[in-house]
Amino acid sequence: MDLFLSTFENKIDRKGRISVPAIYRNVFERKNTSLYLFKSLTKSCLEGCGIDRINQIVDAIDQMDVLSEDTLTLQTMLSSTQEMKFDNEGRIMLSDDFIGYASLDGIALFSGIGRSFEIWNPLQWYPRDTATRDSAKKGKVPKLSFARNSNQGYS
């Protein structure tokens, strides 16, 4: 499965192009698949993923009540989704819509969060990162079980 880690800050040039970090790009080049970008439902950022993730959403919709609120929400995600094309240098073009939604301005921050990655205005991302770390230091660290029969938390 796809795995996106680390953070990177890249420039948006005057043509609206931005380099996708090479290690993210490799995920798509290896499998010869496309990168899909959509507006995050809950945060003011863009979210990037592979076709697998998109298919998960589509399948989820198929199994839900057509009239439900959740269906509408997922459909909203899909309607904002764009299939991105890489140029020879591994860059993509961000639409004005995307740039506006994420309040991007000259520099974008890629933040790998596992199965997908986010694209942020650095000025909005850093305070959130700091806040989350501060919260964790106050003891709000999620417990992960690393051994089968253990109650050991992570710290």
Partner DNA sequence: TTCTATCCCATGATATCCCATATAATCCCA
Partner DNA sequence: TGGGATTATATGGGATATCATGGGATAGAA
Q: Which two tokens stand for residue 13?
A: 């040039």
Closest distance to DNA from the beta carbon of 140 (Å)? 33
- Residue 125 has, within 13 A of its CA and on its CB side, a CA count of 20
Q: Is residue 8 part of the contact set for DNA (CB under 7 A)? A: yes
CA distance 90 to 146: 37
Question: Residue 154 touches which of DNA, a second copy, none (CB < 5 to 8 A by kind)?
Answer: a second copy
Candidate list 87, 97, 129, 134; residue touching DNA; CB under 7 A: 87
What is the binding site for a second copy (CB under 8 A)?
3, 5-7, 23, 36, 41-42, 53-54, 56-58, 60-62, 66-67, 69-70, 72-76, 78-83, 111-115, 129, 132-133, 135-137, 140-142, 144, 146-147, 149-155
**Binding residue for DNA, selected from 3, 5, 22, 113, defined by CB under 7 A:** 22
122 binds DNA (CB under 7 A): no
Q: Which is nearer to a second copy, 14 or 36 (CB)?
A: 36
Binding site for DNA (CB under 7 A): 8-11, 13-23, 25-26, 85, 87-91, 93, 95
